[in-house]
Structure formats: structure tokens, C-alpha cells
């Protein structure tokens, strides 16, 4: 029989299609991809093509050249200049589209992906994330900052060169508000952080755990919305990504690289998205929310059912998917 599971953090129901479930290895990418070059003359993010991008706002360099570059998105979703102005007339609500939209070029090499980057480079990327995250919140127009990565065409990227994006929004998105509301509701009811409770229960059961390190755990949630949908949770309760320590960054780099490596080798390098879900930098203890990283390999195409209901059909058992990834040795 099929089973419906409720994700308590997102409050989303998902159908776990047990009778239609595929084996984990059936989700391997079957299309042949051409090998990417180390350098592309037409790529604006490759070394030597810096004039094709807006001037950088931040960079990390060694004695030879840049390692990571940050610049405004040339095709920004928001306007950097201007004031945040709210409109309210009848049923119409609007807000001036001001904010921050940056591109973080993760490496000089055109043909890389996170799974095969040197560990030190992944550590540097995360340090840049933290620096830009904190900096973005200094803008009084910004209410919420999201850091995300689109890797591959199915994940929505338009440029192959490895990069992430940061967007500082003048509003707090409904997805974020809903997670906070659920966290507050659960805390009021139980006195516990919903994310901490989720992590505790997942560790106790163990069947959906992918990898554990000193400071982080990667796992497939009990009610994963799609095949191989993964979360990386800090063990330490911390509401904001801004509070991550240097030691935790090094540990996070290792678990991200290894977890994505298992996907890279186990599923033949599928496209993927990842997102850091976090509150703004806070002072004092916020007990109801806990930042985390969400990773979604694009091995399944959503359809009209998902669009019409807001529910998902997961064709892979989370327990089987996690067991499969645990079995993959990363080179």
C-alpha cells in the first residue's frame, strides 16, 4: 500500500509510492554529457574574462590569482539602488524591487563541481558565503538573505561555470515564514526546537542517515519530497548561518563534499540545487529555529499533480535511498 508522510518542518504531505518505487540505482542519469573544458573563451566567469562581468565586490586570492570572485549579478532580479517603498491600495500590495543579487564564482576552473573540488576550496567557498551573508544584512532594506546553487540545466543554471548566488530580499518569503511559524508552534507545544528534535529522531532511527561528522549530519528526511532530497543539519543549535565557526565550516565542507560525492558517483553526476535556510544574524538565543542546508538532486520531473496540490509523489523510499548513498565509496 502507498503511504502518505507529513514533513513537520515544511508542513507538506508527500506520497511515498511504495508500490511504484524505483530502485535507487534506477535514478542514475542516462544522458551523455560532453566533457567540459578547463577554460572557455566565451564564459564570463573564466580567468581573463573579468571585464565581461560587473566589477567584483569581493574576492579571495592567493599569490598568483583569484580563487573566488563575487560580483553583482549582471541580470539582477533586484535593483541595487533605490529605497524600499511599500504600496497599499485596495487589494493591491506592492513593494519597490530593491535589494542585493550577487554571483559567487567558486573556482577559476570551468569544468569543476563541488564533489570534485579540493576540500580547501570548498572551505573557502563557505567562508565567502558567511562573509557575504553577514555583509548583506547590513543593508537596512534587506529582510531576508538566501544563498543557493543551481548546478546544471535541470537545476536552472544558465552558465556552466561553477557558481552560487546570494539574494538579499526586501521581504521574508512565505516558505521561510512557514518554517518559522511551524518552529514556534512546535516549541510552544513541546518546549523543543523542531529541527533539533528531527535530528535527534533521525539519529536514533538511523535508517535515513547518510553521513555523520563531529558537527553535522546529512540525511534524507522521513517525508522527503523527492528522490534523494537531503538535509544537512548542524548538531549545535544555531538559528543563523552567520554564527557558524571556522571549525564548523571546515567540517561542513567535508560533509557537503562527501555527500555530494556520493551523489556524483552513485547517480552519475546529476544536476542539483542546494539552499541555505537560515534566520538573519541574531543576538541572544532563538530556541525555535535551527539553520540547515537543503540539497535536491534533479532526478525527478514534477508534473501537474504537484502544481495542482502542492503535494509531491516520491518514487523512491527514503530509507532505501539513504542506504544506497551510504554504500557509495567516494574517491
Structural domain boundaries in the chain: 3-79+93-326
* 190/331 Cα distance (integer angstroms): 43
6: Cβ contacts below 8 Å, ≥ 6 apart: 12, 13, 14, 223
Instruction: Match 500590495 to its residue by C-alpha cell.
Output: 93
If you average pLDDT over every residue of the chain, what do you get? 94
Homologous superfamily in CATH for domain 3-79+93-326 = HIT-like (3.30.428.10)
- Kindly report, residue by residue over 87-109, the tens digit of the pLDDT: 998 899 999 999 999 999 999 99
β strands within the chain, DSSP E: 3-7, 12-16, 58-61, 66-72, 86-89, 92-95, 100-105, 144-151, 163-169, 209-212, 216-219, 230-234, 272-277, 292-297, 312-314
- Kindly report, residue by residue over 266-276, the tens digit of the pLDDT: 999 999 999 99
Q: CA nearest 183: which of 235, 129, 237?
A: 237
Phi-psi region of 82 (alpha: psi -120 to 50; beta: other; left: phi over 0): left
Q: Residue 29: which pLDDT band, with cuts at 50, 70 and 90?
A: confident
59 with 66: CB under 8 angstroms? Answer: yes
What's the whole-number mean pLDDT along residues 142-146?
97
- Kindly report, residue by residue over 245-300, the tens digit of the pLDDT: 999 999 999 999 999 999 999 999 999 999 999 999 976 789 999 999 999 999 98
What's the whole-number mean pLDDT along residues 307-324?
93
218 with 254: CB under 8 angstroms? Answer: no
pLDDT at 31 over 70: no
Question: Which residues are tagged catalytic?
Answer: 163
What's the whole-number mean pLDDT along residues 121-149?
97
Amino acid at each position: 500500500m502507498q503511504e502518505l508522510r507529513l514533513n513537520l518542518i515544511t508542513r507538506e504531505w508527500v506520497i511515498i509510492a511504495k508500490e511504484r518505487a524505483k530502485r535507487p540505482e534506477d535514478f542514475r542519469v542516462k544522458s551523455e554529457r560532453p566533457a567540459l573544458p578547463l577554460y572557455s573563451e566565451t564564459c564570463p566567469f573564466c580567468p581573463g574574462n573579468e571585464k565581461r562581468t560587473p566589477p567584483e565586490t569581493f574576492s579571495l586570492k592567493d599569490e598568483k590569482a583569484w580563487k573566488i570572485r563575487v560580483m553583482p549579478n549582471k541580470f539582477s532580479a533586484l535593483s541595487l539602488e533605490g529605497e524600499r517603498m511599500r504600496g497599499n491600495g485596495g487589494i493591491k500590495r506592492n513593494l519597490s524591487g530593491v535589494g542585493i543579487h550577487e554571483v559567487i564564482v567558486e573556482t577559476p576552473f570551468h569544468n569543476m563541481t563541488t564533489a570534485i573540488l579540493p576540500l580547501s576550496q570548498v572551505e573557502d567557498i563557505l567562508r565567502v558565503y558567511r562573509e557575504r551573508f553577514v555583509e548583506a544584512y547590513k543593508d537596512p532594506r534587506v529582510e531576508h538573505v538566501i544563498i543557493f546553487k543551481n548546478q546544471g540545466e535541470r537545476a536552472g543554471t544558465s552558465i556552466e561555470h561553477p557558481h552560487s548566488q546570494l539574494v538579499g530580499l526586501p521581504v521574508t518569503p512565505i516558505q521561510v515564514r512557514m518554517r518559522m511559524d511551524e518552529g514556534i508552534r512546535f516549541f510552544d507545544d513541546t518546549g523543543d526546537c523542531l529541527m533539533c528534535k528531527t535530528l535527534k529522531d533521525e539519529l536514533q532511527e538511523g535508517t535515513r542517515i547518510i553521513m555523520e561528522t563531529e558537527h553535522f549530519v546529512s540525511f534524507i528526511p522521513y517525508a522527503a519530497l523527492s528522490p534523494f532530497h537531503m538535509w544537512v543539519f548542524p548538531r549545535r543549535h544555531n538559528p543563523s548561518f552567520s554564527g557558524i565557526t571556522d571549525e564548523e565550516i571546515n567540517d561542513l565542507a567535508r560533509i557537503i563534499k562527501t555527500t555530494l560525492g556520493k551523489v556524483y558517483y552513485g547517480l552519475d553526476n546529476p544536476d542539483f540545487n542546494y539552499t541555505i535556510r537560515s534566520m538573519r544574524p541574531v543576538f541572544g538565543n532563538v530556541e525555535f529555529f535551527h539553520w540547515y542546508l537543503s540539497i535536491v538532486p534533479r532526478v525527478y520531473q514534477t508534473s501537474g499533480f504537484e502544481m495542482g496540490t502542492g503535494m509531491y509523489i516520491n518514487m523512491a523510499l527514503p530509507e532505501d535511498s539513504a542506504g544506497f548513498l551510504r554504500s557509495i565509496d567516494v574517491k
